[in-house]
Amino acid sequence: MIYPDLELHVPETLGKVHFVGIGGSGMSGIARMFVDAGIDVSGSDSTENANTKALRELGIRITIGHEAKNVADANTLVVTGALWQDNPEYQKALSDGLLILHRSQALAWLTRSKKVIAVAGAHGKTTSTGMVVTGLLGLAQDPSFVNGGVIESLGVSAAAGKSDVFVIEADESDGSFLLYDTSVALITNVDPEHLDFYGSRDAFMNAFVSFANAAKDLVVISSDDSGALEIRSQLTHPNIVTFGEAADADVRLFDVNTDGFVSFKLAYQGATFSAQLSVPGHHNAVNAAGAFAVLVSLGFDPASTLAAIAAFGGTKRRFELHAVINGVRVLDDYAHHPTEVQALLTSARTVADGGRIIAVHQPHLYSRTRIFAAEFADALETLADHTVVLAVCGAREDPEPGVTGELVSERFTDATKVRYVGEWQAAAEYIAEVAQPGDMVITMGCGDVYRMIPQIISALEGANS
């Protein structure tokens, strides 16, 4: 894994910029905005996808496959944290002395001199960022934004606006959320993780304290999450707004109805406001309350703000429906932490219409699998009707002896509710065997499990042909 150098001075002029892994949702958005800024951009990725095709249409030279020659004329290299250090383009940049920027440093360069609204937290960042952006657009504002996922109604994860407001999803996993010159900090929740980077829980929590206290104008933070409450008790910021279901929340959420698309009420400054979203789940009502708290604190009319947020239609890889095959719905979600899996399956149950939920869980990272195997098993066994556990997606980590997806499946108390299938095609065929009309199959994980969906669809079609 490549971590950002938080002390690196990034010059005003970057020259020609080459993106390694340009097809990712975050990287492709930043590359697009670099082009908008008049920068000569090139890029590479291991596989072709919709993002690389769209970027080619902008005139960006993109190579499929990583080779040293791809960076021959570049002055600056932009990389993701997930890049392996033996990548030939990264090694070429090192040997040639090029400026190497982590993705977050490239984003920080884009946000310079802007009013930054930075959304951080263990869960809900992408959705909350999308809600803030959707709200601003509905209020006739024109923000720039970079989100971790494509906003469905806009069809993009990033865009350059004409106002001085820049909304970003800020990543805490590697400390990079401390890079931004943040004006408004939105903290959805604080769930200590990524201790491989921070070294200790205290260091992780202290990073959130630093992130919040450094915000120039405002901190918006959950009134309910235990980690957020711990952070809040240590803040010295003069302007803190809370949101959630706590009785003392500045924006208080109540009367949440999760039957179908979620509806709720918000109490703010003595008035009550109601809304129904176009997405399911109690957690999305909480996310909407956080986005509302940000925008009304910036001076926008509360009723108009909530109506604008309610137009949010979701983001890709967040409970995204791909197909309905012979009555079986096939969906995909980014959930990769036990808390996220719990929230996803709880909201899925509200729209399951009596059908079964078949969870397809791809463990992500060997360290996370080892640490949270029991918690994953508990959430999956309790909230899904049946679970298929896949092999671990190691991403940036080297394999750990003895750490496989079976660490999760073996922790089920009822072995009939789970099946470990390490090979994707075999897993797709098994899913097709057990799925029935009315069932909901949900692939979940922040790795590449979404690439398995065509195999599932094909197997379901074949099972009924």
* 193 catalytically annotated: no
For the chain, how big is the Rg over CA atoms in Å?
Answer: 22
Among the residues of 120-160, which ranges form H helices? 125-138
In the sheet where 182-187 sits, what is the strand order?
A: 156-159, 144-151, 165-169, 115-120, 182-187, 218-222, 240-244, 251-257, 261-268, 271-280
Q: Six-digit token pair at 164?
A: 């001085």
Out of 92, 114, 115, 125, which one is annotated catalytic? 125
Give the active site residue among 52, 76, 111, 126. 126
**What's the gap between Cα 331 and its chain centre?**
16
Tokens at residue 175, please?
């400390």
Q: Which two tokens stand for residue 244?
A: 């959630």
Block residue for tokens 């959950």: 222
Q: Which residue has the tokens 């109506």?
A: 307
Tokens of 112: 């310079």
12 catalytic per annotation:
no
User: Left if phi > 0, otherwise alpha if psi is -120 to 50, otherwise beta: which for 381?
Assistant: alpha
The answer to whether the CB of 79 falls within 8 A of the CB of 20 is: yes
125 catalytically annotated: yes
Q: Quick check: helix, strand or coil at residue 242?
A: strand
- C-alpha to C-alpha distance for 177 and 211, rounded to whole angstroms: 7
The strand order across the sheet containing 440-444 reads 320-325, 328-333, 440-444, 357-361, 386-389, 418-420
Q: Which of 169, 172, 320, 381 is catalytic?
A: 169
Nearest to 228 by CA among 247, 251, 212, 217: 212
Residues annotated as part of the active site: 125-126, 169
